[in-house]
Amino acid sequence: MPVNQDGKQRKKRSESSTNVVTQRLRRIAIVAAPPVRMLDVFGPAEVFTDANRLRGEPAYEVEIISAGDDRMIASHVGVPLLAHRTFRDLRTPVDTLLVAGGDDPSEMRYSPDFLGWLREQSTNIRRLGSVCTGAQTCSTDAERLHIGTGAANWLINILW
């Protein structure tokens, strides 16, 4: 029987359990508010799509979501980003939601209804995270937002 690093015996997986994929495709939504840092959007998007490539089959479906009323999102470098849809148009369940950051969170512009939508999403998703200053967007109105009240929710901040 195989042995772990600490010397304890571990059970060997059966051939059938390693060859059968029963995991469903996990939807990843990366939310961006202008002026977004493109790295904060495309960095995580590349990580999930690279995981699909390395795995040899898709495990993640990545979607870029606008926190505003328009799919076009201004970036801090002046090049616009076209989101797949706005937060209002996101109707299907999401596994992981990441809020991308920008240079100065106080300058980020999002729809007045966005924080309410984010609060609602935080109760329905498995993971909620932020990239860099996106955490400050999540905590801008923390008392109203109530992130992390569900046992299955967690908030992680990715710093580049």
Whether 140 is in a domain gets the answer yes
Domain membership of residue 130 (yes or no) is: yes
Give whole-number Cα distances, 142 to 88, 116, 150, in Å. 21, 11, 15
Give domain status of residue 92, yes or no. Answer: yes
Domain contains 126: yes
Take residue 153 and report the two structure tokens written for it: 């929710």
Ramachandran sector of residue 51 (left: φ over 0; alpha: ψ -120 to 50; beta: rest): alpha
Domain count, the chain: 1
pLDDT, tens only, 84-94:
999 999 988 99
State mean pLDDT over 123-151: 61
Report whether pLDDT(3) > 90.
Answer: no
Judge whether 80 and 72 are in contact, CB under 8 Å: yes
Confidence of residue 160 (pLDDT cuts 50, 70, 90): very low
Residue ranges making up the domain that contains 154: 59-160
Strands 96-99 and 72-73: unpaired
pTM of the model: 0.73
Residue 138 has pLDDT above 70, yes or no: no
The reported pLDDT for the residue numbered 89 is 97
3-state secondary structure string across 46-101: HHHHHHHHHHCCCCEEEEEEECCCCCEECECCCCCEECCEEHHHCCCCCCEEEECC
pLDDT surpasses 70 at 31 = yes
Q: What residues contact 13, with CB distance under 8 A and at least 6 apart?
A: none
What does each C-alpha distance from 68 to 11, 34, 51, 133 come to in angstroms?
A: 50, 8, 29, 17
Q: Does residue 29 carry a pLDDT above 50?
A: yes
Query: Given a cut of 90, is residue 10 above it in pLDDT?
Result: no
Which residue carries 């809020």 as its tokens? 99
Q: What type of residue sits at position 12?
A: K
Residues 37-65 have pLDDT tens digits of 999 999 999 999 999 999 998 999 999 99
Supply the mean pLDDT for the chain: 77
